[in-house]
Structure 1
């Protein structure tokens, strides 16, 4: 007997509760019995899947059916039973027809149960194709009309929310709950505290992996009842969600084409944090995307992660030889590109560097070097430029409408590109200003971090090591190694001890013996007697 397969689809989960599923199933059985077909017990089902954009044919059950026909799992003389063409697809008729013809070319016979029409490749004629196209076109137009109607209603609700503060949806983040009368939102304080901690840790420099690990270690339960642990993806979702500071961001489109619709509406939700904290976290996250956060690894935190360079210009790598020896190695040495820099033992090197910073901690953290930078002047200037460019765009659009020309069109594209760059620049400056406003590590806190460095460097307290690594990143922009000299470049100028002293923003550590046991810091007369650093020149690279 010839096999028959039933395909069932409906767009919304609510239809499953109604008669749609039972009706399509009964129709398939009745038809198969009347034609002597062997209806398979297995149904191809796309329940709650829209056919408007072809999801059922691309990644759904109907797409799987087509793939199994190609592989021979489904015999090529089988029949596919569908209620109507709108169950098969609601895509544009030309796309739906192409999918139908492909199935027919594979040997499949398609039956529409609503009218009993049978479609086979060798029996297709012009009339059949015209009827088929007409039905597919009607299915597409119905969905297109419904889509426009739904989008129009959603647009009106968004406008009402934007203009009148009306509630747009019952859906809210998991740290917020809707009141019983469904009129107001309120914070779930225990979860809101966790949100604040997540943003605080992000601003301090922890990445999403480190934050997830800390949440688990502290025994904080995930927000979702179905989640068994904290996932980095959800931490990132929290950090990117403007609802954290009480705003809602509307979107248009779906999937990869989903884009923001206007600016976020503030004061829509109760705020767990302020906007400055949110922007500061975005800025810190963007810094980590540019230079991935590798502060921690399995074991101990890397105190100088992403800061170490060889004087040849390449980075110093962290290398573990597997036999207990951990050291910094120039990448060019590893790749045999001409550099002959010796290796630096990680533990002793770290102790040397942090000891040098400790010697001048109070000077480096002097209040007169911590003055906040005023971004307001820069922001005003950039916003003025943006307004000027936007005025030029308006003029160019008017000229283009009355006198179309390639030159005006090209100029308009240039202005729009300039507008985009200025907007991005404004966002960056606002984020940097916000970061400065909410920065949690004051000079005194950093001085506390630098205090007791020896115990932190050599100890096993991971939280202290992470705090020290974050503190170092606030002070140091780079560390450059030469054979007998190490230069620590700072993010701020070294305070002068004497009026005639030159301005500088670096500390130079000079080796004063042959074994690398004694060092002193440039101009400040500090000598470190302890064997904080050892290194051995390699005779020959193998």
Structure 2
């Protein structure tokens, strides 16, 4: 059992023997790999030993920043230490308080006046600090504290110098590794699961066929559907929607290695350098950018939640009640399927009959729409000459490049805010360069759209209604129609009149193309656009 001792002599200047000392302990280490390693265990043992030796001290709260660097003050911006400092400022700390730390370098490694000012502000708030590694007490109540300030500053400067030297060594090693990779050398033998390191080189393995399938299926199917299909095809491993998503976002599928660095939250996601042709490629870079453009499009909330195996409603996100509410796709026990006004289920639809919801047979709405769809350019998903296919592929690749350049621009602006004056000149020139490239890509995108539209107008006469109906026969076909209608800004507004009487306004790109009046089993198009 640890021998209980009286408080160190220095405590008599600060605390009375009959007073309970309210202790707030703080531990920190900068690498998450140190969790429950020597760094954490050492600090915990020192704190526990202090309480065993000095039972008059009472632990009030324990603060921990595990895997958080103090070199640039991250623990002061968002860590637990920042929370403790805020509590001091708000006067929420108990009287006779003591901050217990291994050393001042646990609090800050920033160096200079910033770190010194922080520690003095804690002490000036009448919260004493006790450093366990040298058993020293720092408090405003001490009779002579001038020596303490010099000592604190020396400790902080030494800690900052150590951190700076370590940071420079790590950065230099990473730079040498990147240069080695650019010359065809190996940075790390770790690689994505579809690549193996064999005989001192990277090669595609048995999983690469599944990755290739993902890139082919992603244009028409969501991540969940792709994973299900791959598992049915019995590839070398099982896949989940999460795995599919991660793979399709990885630059490694076109052979690129991304050197990343930590952001201010300690997450490795800030782009630093790209080394192309580092890995064997599954697809081309242009194909990757096409996929990126498609995945970016899917981030639109209108396209979320589509599962091929249960997708029935081609009007999802497109059909609205006159009251402004959306329609919910509802399958009844009698096998009838309705579109139900969401507001009417809560008695909030002004067009609902008393104690009755607003509902319409789904297949009637679908049939009416298909009868009067002529003004909507379905040829853009049905008629695909070789010229159109080639231009659309180029357009998708261009869209992917636009996304990549926009990300690069945002990354440069982020770096600019934290750079030195000398570095800022280079970064500003890079921003100008990327901005010009982005403008040129957007100009190309507009010109490609015009050329594609002109070709579609030429091919329009070859489209027939039965071609559109063929798409309704499969789940993926219905998803394709729904995607297309969203891209064309098609909208249906249904106005209830009375039982079995209603009207449907069909809009295309915010333009009313027709209104269909329904009375029992009779239908009338007011503008007769289907005859034009």
Shorter-chain TM-score bucket reads: 0.5 to 0.7
Q: Give the Cα separation in 2 of the matches to 1:247 and 1:309.
A: 45
Q: Return the match for 2:366 from 333, 337, 350.
A: 350
- Could you say if the C-alpha distance between residues 373 and 126 of structure 1 is closer, same or farther in structure 2, counting changes exceeding 3 Å? same
Is residue 2:139 matched to residue 1:131?
Answer: no
What's the offset of the Cα at 1:489?
A: 5.2
- Could you say if the C-alpha distance between residues 80 and 479 of structure 1 is closer, same or farther in structure 2, counting changes exceeding 3 Å? closer
Is residue 2:422 matched to residue 1:422?
Answer: no
Is residue 2:108 matched to residue 1:95?
Answer: no
Is residue 2:490 matched to residue 1:478?
Answer: yes
What's the offset of the Cα at 1:247?
A: 0.9
Q: Give the Cα separation in 1 of the matches to 2:263 and 2:149.
A: 32
- Could you say if the C-alpha distance between residues 252 and 446 of structure 1 is closer, same or farther in structure 2, counting changes exceeding 3 Å? farther
Is residue 2:171 matched to residue 1:151?
Answer: yes
Q: Return the match for 1:303 from 314, 319, 326.
A: 314
- Could you say if the C-alpha distance between residues 109 and 523 of structure 1 is closer, same or farther in structure 2, counting changes exceeding 3 Å? closer
In the alignment, structure 2 segments of 5+ residues that lack a partner are 1-19, 351-357, 406-423, 453-459, 496-502
Is residue 2:271 matched to residue 1:260?
Answer: yes
Q: Give the Cα separation in 1 of the matches to 2:245 and 2:464.
A: 27
1:327–1:346: 8 Å Cα contact kept in structure 2? no
Q: Give the Cα separation in 2 of the matches to 1:523 and 1:489.
A: 12
Provide Cα deviations, 1:160-215, integer angstroms capped at 9, x if missing partner: 212x1222234433x3354376x33344534x4554454444423x5xxx423663
Provide Cα deviations, 1:383-412, integer angstroms capped at 9, x if missing partner: 9xx9xxxxxxxxxxxxxxxxxxxxxx99x9
Other structure's SS at 1:110 match: strand
**Who is 2:253 aligned against?**
244
What's the offset of the Cα at 1:120?
A: 1.0
Provide Cα deviations, 1:481-533, integer angstroms capped at 9, x if missing partner: 7997866759xxxxxxxxxxxxxxx996675986673468968769xxxxxxx
Q: Give the Cα separation in 2 of the matches to 1:8 and 1:472.
A: 57
What's the offset of the Cα at 1:248?
A: 1.6
Q: Give me the TM-score of the superposition, normalised by structure 1.
A: 0.61
- Could you say if the C-alpha distance between residues 519 and 185 of structure 1 is closer, same or farther in structure 2, counting changes exceeding 3 Å? farther
What's the offset of the Cα at 1:79?
A: 3.0
In the alignment, structure 1 segments of 5+ residues that lack a partner are 337-341, 387-408, 438-442, 491-505, 527-542
What's the offset of the Cα at 1:279?
A: 0.8
- Could you say if the C-alpha distance between residues 91 and 220 of structure 1 is closer, same or farther in structure 2, counting changes exceeding 3 Å? farther
What's the offset of the Cα at 1:242?
A: 1.1
Structure with a larger share of its residues in strand: 2
**Who is 1:535 aligned against?**
none
Q: Return the match for 2:191 from 165, 172, 185.
A: 172
Number of aligned positions between the proteins: 446
**Who is 1:399 aligned against?**
none
**Who is 2:201 aligned against?**
184
2:196–2:204: 8 Å Cα contact kept in structure 1? no
- Could you say if the C-alpha distance between residues 357 and 266 of structure 1 is closer, same or farther in structure 2, counting changes exceeding 3 Å? farther
Q: Return the match for 2:289 from 254, 279, 283.
A: 279
Provide Cα deviations, 1:286-334, integer angstroms capped at 9, x if missing partner: 3344674257499744414556799xxx99763249897526899xxx9
- Could you say if the C-alpha distance between residues 364 and 271 of structure 1 is closer, same or farther in structure 2, counting changes exceeding 3 Å? closer
Other structure's SS at 1:261 match: strand
What's the offset of the Cα at 1:13?
A: 5.4
What's the offset of the Cα at 1:119?
A: 0.7
